[in-house]
């Protein structure tokens, strides 16, 4: 029997060495992830071939948060695809290790951004930059960088390759150069800056003062000011840079979602008409130039297809416990992560189904807190609550993929 098995292995190895690679890729494309994992254990030759990213790309595109976006872009190209498919099983099954890397005593409204192996967290009037261990994703407790300058709390901030841009309750926008350490102050709002976004030198801000403002990095004054009919709670710049979207508090009899032309500062269209009073939009994210995700007080995540005329909600996912949704992030393909207003609930959604896939309650009943912001990498999710930063580590290996 041992001789028979070794002969079969040699025969299979010879087959692999004789067939053209494009034919092998075609054959392997019919195998699922379990079959590929078993096949890779046959011998070293097959192991090295089967472990190539090209073999796993088709499978990875069907899994959650593997870094392969809908258009085929690979976000986490430095991590082997087979490893990402392993971890994707844990995202789907909700298998993770929980930790609380940072705590503080005063209740805050923190915000978080991730940039490769760095995490940035706002606490009151300062923003700290923290290093993440590349292997474990653990947070170094002492920040390597502190960004300050606001006279009030930081409400929101965004990262670009060169800058950290923050909006505060003092009505100021501060542009910190991440390498040179210099700072530019943008003045114009007379109440807190609730939201902002920045791409390629363009900055859009929204405020409680019922205005949205367009800025550039070449001037400390706004290029344009747009009078709104309500407080502005969220903004997002389109990947094309030609338009942006504002989300308001919806306290007036108007839809909270509007699309604006950047050059003309004019409203292009209104999204939706069935929002009830008070259904403010708290967060939004462009996944492509024609796909916009929004969430807010009406308990729904909505996908808007901007190719349609009129532009319509193409799909929606409802928070099952009727909680407001404070924040969302997508993986660019199948997964959405959302943060709810009660008990620190984080939910994972598969866009291909309407029900919640997994949920995690991060705060206990006596200390209920919204999830003010969340961000995730290929293996970790970080959620900022009122008094702590929580992490979910999905990197442990599932038993059925070796």
In what helix (H) or strand (E) does residue 173 lie, and over which residues does it extend?
Answer: strand 173-177
How many helices (H) and strands (E) the chain has is answered by: 6, 28
Same domain? 252 vs 300: yes
Same domain? 39 vs 106: no
Same domain? 254 vs 138: yes
Nearest to 94 by CA among 353, 352, 401, 350: 350
Same domain? 127 vs 153: yes
In the DSSP assignment, the letter for residue 74 is: B
Same domain? 134 vs 61: no
Same domain? 288 vs 209: yes
Confirm whether 400 is domain-assigned. Answer: no
Same domain? 23 vs 45: yes
Confirm whether 356 is domain-assigned. Answer: yes
- Token pair of 149 as six digits: 């300058």
Same domain? 270 vs 372: yes
Residues across the chain: 402
Could you tell me the CATH number of the domain that includes residue 85?
Answer: 1.20.1280
Same domain? 120 vs 83: no
Nearest to 198 by CA among 218, 171, 210, 216: 216
Task: Please spell the DSSP secondary structure of 226-257, one letter per residue.
Answer: EE-SS-EEEEEE-TTSSEEEEEE---SSS-SE
List the beta bridge partners of residue 391: 99, 382
The C-alpha atoms of residue 185 and residue 165 are separated, in whole angstroms, by 10
Confirm whether 401 is domain-assigned. Answer: no
Find tokens 């069935």 and name the residue: 274
**pLDDT in 10s for each residue of the chain, 402 residues:** 444 556 655 666 666 667 777 777 777 777 777 888 787 777 777 777 778 888 888 888 999 999 999 888 999 988 999 899 999 999 999 999 999 999 999 999 999 999 989 999 999 999 999 999 877 778 988 999 999 999 999 999 999 999 999 999 999 999 999 888 778 999 999 999 999 999 999 999 999 999 999 999 888 899 999 999 899 999 999 999 999 999 999 887 788 999 999 999 999 999 987 778 778 999 999 999 999 999 999 999 999 999 887 778 899 999 999 899 999 999 999 999 999 999 999 999 999 999 999 999 998 766 789 999 999 999 999 999 999 999 999 997 655 554
245 contacts 259 by C-beta, under 8 angstroms: yes
Final residue before a domain boundary, out of 66, 91, 116: 91
Sheet arrangement for strand 112-115: 112-115, 118-123, 126-131, 145-147
Confirm whether 53 is domain-assigned. Answer: yes
Global pTM value: 0.91
Q: How far is CA 68 from CA 5, 77, 84, 221, 297, in A?
A: 37, 9, 10, 40, 31
In the DSSP assignment, the letter for residue 264 is: T
pLDDT of residue 9: 55
Find tokens 């992560």 and name the residue: 337
Same domain? 356 vs 314: yes
Final residue before a domain boundary, out of 44, 66, 91: 91
Confirm whether 305 is domain-assigned. Answer: yes
Q: Which domain holds residue 85?
A: 2-91
In the chain, how many domains are there? 2
- Token pair of 71 as six digits: 């258009």
Confirm whether 399 is domain-assigned. Answer: no
Read off φ and ψ for residue 394, nearest 5 degrees.
Answer: -100, 15
Could you tell me the CATH number of the domain that includes residue 307?
Answer: 2.130.10.10
Confirm whether 398 is domain-assigned. Answer: no
Confirm whether 294 is domain-assigned. Answer: yes
Q: Centre a 10 Å sphere on the Cβ of residue 344 and count the other Cβ atoms it contains.
A: 24
The C-alpha atoms of residue 331 and residue 87 are separated, in whole angstroms, by 14
Final residue before a domain boundary, out of 33, 63, 91: 91
Q: Centre a 10 Å sphere on the Cβ of residue 61 and count the other Cβ atoms it contains.
A: 16
- Token pair of 82 as six digits: 């087979």
Same domain? 309 vs 242: yes
Same domain? 163 vs 293: yes
């Amino acid at each position: 029997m041992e001789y028979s098995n070794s002969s079969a292995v040699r025969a299979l190895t010879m087959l692999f060495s004789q067939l053209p690679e494009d034919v092998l890729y075609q054959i392997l494309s019919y195998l699922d992830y379990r079959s590929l994992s078993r096949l890779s254990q046959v011998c070293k030759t097959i192991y090295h071939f089967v472990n190539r990213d090209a073999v796993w790309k088709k499978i990875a595109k069907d899994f959650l948060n593997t870094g392969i976006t809908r258009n085929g872009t690979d976000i986490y190209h430095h991590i082997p695809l087979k490893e990402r498919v392993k971890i994707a099983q844990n995202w789907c099954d909700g298998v993770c290790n929980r930790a609380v890397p940072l705590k503080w005593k005063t209740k805050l409204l923190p915000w978080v951004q991730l940039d490769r192996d760095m995490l940035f967290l706002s606490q009151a009037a300062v923003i700290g930059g923290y290093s993440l261990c590349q292997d474990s994703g653990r947070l170094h407790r002492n920040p390597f960088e502190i960004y300050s300058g606001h006279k009030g709390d930081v409400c929101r901030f965004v990262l670009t390759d060169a800058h950290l841009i923050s909006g505060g309750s003092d009505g100021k926008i501060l542009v910190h150069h991440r390498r040179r350490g210099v700072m530019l102050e943008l003045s114009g709002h007379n109440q807190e800056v609730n939201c902002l976004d920045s791409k390629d030198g363009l900055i859009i801000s929204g405020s409680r003062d019922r205005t949205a403002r367009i800025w550039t990095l070449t001037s400390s004054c706004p290029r344009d000011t747009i009078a709104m009919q309500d407080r502005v709670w969220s903004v997002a710049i389109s990947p094309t840079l030609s338009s942006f979207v504002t989300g308001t508090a919806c306290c007036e009899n108007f839809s909270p979602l509007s699309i604006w032309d950047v050059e003309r500062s004019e409203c292009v269209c209104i999204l939706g008409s069935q929002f009830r009073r008070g259904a403010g939009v708290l967060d939004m994210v462009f996944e492509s130039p024609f796909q916009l995700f929004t969430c807010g007080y009406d308990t729904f995540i909505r996908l808007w297809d901007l190719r349609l005329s009129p532009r319509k909600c193409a799909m929606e996912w409802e928070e099952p416990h009727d909680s407001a949704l404070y924040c969302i992030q997508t993986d660019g393909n199948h997964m959405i992560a959302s943060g709810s207003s009660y008990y620190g609930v984080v939910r994972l959604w598969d866009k291909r189904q309407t029900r919640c896939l997994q949920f995690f309650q991060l705060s206990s009943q006596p200390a209920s807190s919204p999830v003010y912001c969340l961000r995730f990498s290929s293996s970790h999710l970080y959620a900022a609550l009122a008094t702590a930063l929580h992490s979910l580590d999905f990197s442990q290996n599932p038993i059925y993929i070796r």
